Structure 1
Amino acid sequence: MSRDGKSGGSIGGDTDGMAEHFDVLIIGAGLSGIGAAWRLQEQLPGKTYAILEARDAIGGTWDLFRYPGVRSDSDMFTLSYPFRPWRGAESIAPGEQIRRYIEDTAIDGGIMPHIRFGSRVETADWSSATARWTLRLTDRSELTADFVYGCAGYYSYDTGYQPDFPGLDDFPGQVVHPQFWPADLDYAGKRVVVIGSGATAVTLVPAMAQDAAHVTMLQRSPTYLTVLPPRDVVFDVARRILPLHAASKVARVKNLAVTQGFYQLARRRPKRVRQLLRAFAVRALKDPAYVDEHFNPAYEPWDQRLCVIPDGDLYQVIRSGQAAVVTDHIDHFEAGGIRLRSGRLLEADVVVCATGLSLVPLGGIRASVDGTPVDIGAHAAYRGLMLSGVPNLAYCIGYVNASWTLRADLVHRYVLRLLRHLDRHGFAAAVPNDPGGQGRPLLDLSAGYVQRALDKFPRQGDRDPWLVRQNYLRDVLSFPRADVTRDMTFTRRLAPLEEIAS
């Protein structure tokens, strides 16, 4: 099967005129983009569409990241598509299994011929006269679409966040970023320092500790961790008495209830959850002082995303002496390693900067409406999926407190209901009205990588439908019934289709 997507990408497209035209163009062939295409084919089979993927492979995040131990930080029964339940044995799955699952979904759904690999969108320009978007790619080709749906996530695939550490040029060892992991990196028998304490860092440390001489996780401040089993006991029991499909659904419902319940408990009873997490860590490490120094943060649980360590693997390598945690600030790099503000030298041969992502909305596409550039940060987020004042453009962002796909699938189905409304009433465009006044950030987390990019993203409003609630159990009831006409202006095409084609 061709991986460049060029031969099959025009399926359903109108090649009359200067640019190929599609009813819908989806940006990104990762978890969200493939899910969106599946739903589009399922619910609006008459629509023509293409998926524009900047890279040369399917899978998005799960193809890009290749560092040791890369895995999901959500359980696969909720991260998988509801229309294609997870059937693997592991609930916390390796990245390659997730990538293969996405690819298999695209193959089984007949989606692969619609994907155009190596198609990076540079600009998207809306014309009110024609009620169409014109997308210009980096290869100078153009496509037009009635509707554009951004499914490229919220971070840059080209650059990760890399602080400017003093003296970095004086360090003779190797410095790598997890987003661009060298396939030939040899760290066997070497001293490794992993800078960071997020999901990537807590995955890397136990994975690298198996071969490295020693691994140190260097963090600026303590972090919360939660332990989950790598396999789902409920699923293992259910599959003995139920068909596989039904057993997956049982595990999915159970995990939804547990994760949402735990999040709500953390927001309502943060002191109680803090005590629980500390107790788990003390039980695993047998050292209350060590836990209080490194795993008892000043912030409340879920002010930042809670990191999962399957089977307590990080705690295990710390107890074995293969790894350690240091909580301190970097003063500078030098020939022997990293000098900390406390004066201590962390000796290192390899340094991994798990320092976070560089966030960017809409995959970095520059958009304009009738020639006026769209400053995304100056707009309000309509239901967390459209921009005030911008017609026929939706974007997909999942939950920050639960599996990404849970919200992504709700957004897919909402977008399709909006498209169905346009068709039913003969409208060409839907434009969310500006609500006036803005509230919390769209991504409401205190993590540094989020705070650095707040001005790039739209903000929420102060009322429905401009609020984004991190509550799947509420959303799954309200989203399917949400009024697609509320705070929305609908327009018809100003120019006849015959003039557009000519």
Structure 2
Amino acid sequence: MPTSPAATPSEHFDVLIVGAGISGVGAAWHMRHQSPGKSFCVLEAQSDFGGTWRTHTYPGIRSDSDLYTFGYRFKPWEGAPIAAAHEILAYMGEVIEENDLDQHIRYNHRIVSADWSSEGKVWTVTAKRSDTGDTQVFTAGFLWMCQGYYNHEEGYTPEWDGMQDFRGQIIHPQTWPDDVDLNGKKVICIGSGATAATVVPAIAGECEHVTLLQRSPTYFTPGRNVNELADALREEGVDADWIHKIIRKRVLFDQAKFTELAQKQPDIVRAELLKGVRDLLGPDYPIDPHFTPNYRPWQQRIAFVPDGDLFQGIASGKASVVTDHIDRFTERGILLKSGEELQADIIITATGFNLSVLGDIPFSRDGQPIDFSQTVTYRGMMFTGVPNMAWVFGYFRASWTLRVDLMGDFISRLLKHMDDKGAKEVRVELREQDKDMEILPWMDPDNFNPGYMMRSLHLMPKRGAHDIWQHSQDYWREKDEMPLIDLDSEEFVYDRKGADAPAKDKALA
């Protein structure tokens, strides 16, 4: 009977960062610059940095947020607002090289368990190396979870009747094959979100025809992939750092106003969004039903369509849209509820992803499993009863990376505060005033309700009715509130080290 490779002796770090994607690389920068006295290590399951931008290789893969805000606040972005994956990877690579971060990253390390010791005040993290098969053990004083929020291994594809009967190829964009041949093929792309809006124009000129098949439409905002103010400032020779700061503030200001207007006057915003589509497709195109969603504009992320490429493909006849429900797959394609059969050689299921809570890593405390669905979140980044851990979960209506920078400041301040107190452990707990508050799902469906979140909401930590016990999703509020968090307020519980600890430190329960 074969035996598993023996675990190598453990290494200890003050902070262990999980994931070398956009969040993990940002977290490493903050450790390097804001906590220079702390040792840290980044564990990455893949063979290189990049996370989403390395996992996803489907045609046209690009950001759906502008890079002035999706990029880091400390690293100027100098390209077009919407960037392709290879451009984002190059940008992240520069951050790693310029800040000597590569020495801190361990690739091919997939975490298989993490256990907190109440006695030792450390996390013991076991990782399996995908390149050698060896097991590596690490200990860390603090875990900074930056592995994203979905399963990188497999995307979400519904189970439709007759899928086994289809004679063609079924592809999920998340696992795009290297050898797919689209030339001269009839393609159906199922979906209505940012991925579908990216894939369809990218392949429209290569295949014979591509049909975007959607159950219900999504809001899009088409526009030129330029920032005229940034370009003008460059022509004037303004310093790149200043341009980055100015454009970042301008974009955030515009986004805040848009969000406010969408919530207060959704009909006006809806009309404006539909006008943008109608201007590209012409007055005779059936905007309703194909591009008239039944939800309010703020309830899901609105994807930017650079240069209106999706709509240009439709207007040219290379792509078309069908809004209907799938009855079943057939040998030749898809039979719709309306009775129409769409024929295809290839079917792309751009139907979303599977939510992953903290990387689906088995966590435990003193050997007892931690069920995050039974915890309450503190501002969407810490969890009741779970010591020395923070999770980066970004924004839905603003760029994800904005929260990386805010949390970088917060965690750096928290680590310093622990040192000043002589504390080895910090966790959050409900205050006396919170004991009877209503406990609710992680996200209010009226606030945000994409399919991936609704399918897996039961796996997520809970939120409380009081503001600090929820992820508000409001960057414009958090940017002012998070720097002012009182780290000695009642919800923070520290260990006591020695009999002379300050009275405001709370003993562990």
Structure-1-length-normalised TM-score: 0.92
Q: Secondary structure of the residue that 1:452 maps to in structure 2? A: helix
Q: Deviations over 1:132-166 (max 9, x none)?
A: 00001134321100000100010011111111111
Q: Deviations over 1:174-199 (max 9, x none)?
A: 11111111111110111111000111
Find the aligned partners of 1:289 and 1:38 in 2 and give their Cα distance. 49
1:101 offset after TM fit, Å?
0.8
Q: Deviations over 1:69-98 (max 9, x none)?
A: 10000000011111112122x110111100
1:461 aligned partner: 464
- Name the aligned partner's letter for residue 194 of structure 2: A
Q: Is the 8 A contact 1:442 1:458 kept in 2?
A: no
Greater displacement, 185-194 / 236-245? 236-245
Percentage identity across paired residues of the two chains: 43
Find the aligned partners of 1:360 and 1:493 in 2 and give their Cα distance. 36
Q: 1:107 aligns with which of 97, 104, 121?
A: 97
Q: Is the 8 A contact 1:442 1:457 kept in 2?
A: no
1:14 aligned partner: none
1:84 aligned partner: 75
- Name the aligned partner's letter for residue 206 of structure 1: P
1:130 aligned partner: 120
Find the aligned partners of 1:440 and 1:288 in 2 and give their Cα distance. 43
Q: 2:163 aligns with which of 145, 148, 168?
A: 168
1:469 offset after TM fit, Å?
2.0
Q: Secondary structure of the residue that 2:62 maps to in structure 1? A: coil
Q: 1:415 aligns with which of 411, 414, 428?
A: 411
User: In the alignment, is residue 152 of structure 1 matched against residue 147 of structure 2?
Assistant: yes
| Structure 2: runs of 5 or more not aligned | 1-7, 129-133, 499-509
User: In the alignment, is residue 37 of structure 1 matched against residue 28 of structure 2?
Assistant: yes
1:12 aligned partner: none
User: In the alignment, is residue 363 of structure 1 matched against residue 359 of structure 2?
Assistant: yes
Q: Is the 8 A contact 2:20 2:50 kept in 1?
A: yes
Q: Secondary structure of the residue that 2:468 maps to in structure 1? A: coil
User: In the alignment, is residue 479 of structure 1 matched against residue 477 of structure 2?
Assistant: no
Find the aligned partners of 2:100 and 2:354 in 1 and give their Cα distance. 33
Find the aligned partners of 1:228 and 1:125 in 2 and give their Cα distance. 48
1:298 offset after TM fit, Å?
1.2
1:9 aligned partner: none
1:244 offset after TM fit, Å?
2.2
Q: 2:330 aligns with which of 334, 339, 343?
A: 334
Q: 2:229 aligns with which of 211, 234, 244?
A: 234
Q: Deviations over 1:79-129 (max 9, x none)?
A: 1111112122x1101111001111211111111011110101111100110
Find the aligned partners of 1:276 and 1:430 in 2 and give their Cα distance. 48
Find the aligned partners of 1:282 and 1:121 in 2 and give their Cα distance. 49
1:389 offset after TM fit, Å?
0.8
- 1:43-442 mapped onto 2 (5 Å cutoff): 43-88=34-79, 90-138=80-128, 139-241=134-236, 242-287=238-283, 290-434=286-430, 435-436=434-435, 437-442=438-443
Find the aligned partners of 1:262 and 1:150 in 2 and give their Cα distance. 31
Find the aligned partners of 2:126 and 2:55 in 1 and give their Cα distance. 24
Q: Is the 8 A contact 2:172 2:348 kept in 1?
A: yes
2:4 aligned partner: none
- Over the aligned positions, Cα root-mean-square deviation in angstroms equals 1.5
Aligned length: 477
1:415 offset after TM fit, Å?
1.1
Q: Is the 8 A contact 1:218 1:326 kept in 2?
A: yes
Q: Is the 8 A contact 1:384 1:442 kept in 2?
A: no
Q: Are the structure 2 counterparts of residues 425 and 393 from structure 1 closer, same or farther at C-alpha, using a change threshold of 3 Å? A: same
User: In the alignment, is residue 451 of structure 1 matched against residue 454 of structure 2?
Assistant: yes
2:504 aligned partner: none
Q: Secondary structure of the residue that 2:75 maps to in structure 1? A: coil
Find the aligned partners of 1:218 and 1:453 in 2 and give their Cα distance. 24
Find the aligned partners of 1:415 and 1:441 in 2 and give their Cα distance. 22
1:173 offset after TM fit, Å?
0.9
User: In the alignment, is residue 490 of structure 1 matched against residue 494 of structure 2?
Assistant: yes
Q: Deviations over 1:351-377 (max 9, x none)?
A: 111010100111111111122211111
Q: Is the 8 A contact 1:260 1:471 kept in 2?
A: no
- Name the aligned partner's letter for residue 355 of structure 1: T
1:414 offset after TM fit, Å?
0.7
Find the aligned partners of 2:391 and 2:39 in 1 and give their Cα distance. 19
1:470 aligned partner: 473
Q: Secondary structure of the residue that 1:465 maps to in structure 2? A: helix
Q: Are the structure 2 counterparts of residues 211 and 289 from structure 1 closer, same or farther at C-alpha, using a change threshold of 3 Å? A: closer
Q: Deviations over 1:227-286 (max 9, x none)?
A: 132111111111111122222222211111111211121111111111111111221111
Q: Secondary structure of the residue that 1:19 maps to in structure 2? A: strand
- Name the aligned partner's letter for residue 190 of structure 1: K
Q: Secondary structure of the residue that 2:394 maps to in structure 1? A: coil
Find the aligned partners of 1:103 and 1:205 in 2 and give their Cα distance. 29
Q: Is the 8 A contact 1:129 1:493 kept in 2?
A: no
- Name the aligned partner's letter for residue 439 of structure 2: Q
Find the aligned partners of 1:465 and 1:390 in 2 and give their Cα distance. 16
1:500 aligned partner: none
Find the aligned partners of 2:442 and 2:462 in 1 and give their Cα distance. 5
Find the aligned partners of 1:493 and 1:192 in 2 and give their Cα distance. 65
Q: Secondary structure of the residue that 2:93 maps to in structure 1? A: helix
Greater displacement, 353-362 / 278-287? 278-287
Find the aligned partners of 2:496 and 2:208 in 1 and give their Cα distance. 67
1:499 aligned partner: none
Q: Deviations over 1:396-453 (max 9, x none)?
A: 0110101011112101211111111100110011110034442352485211111001
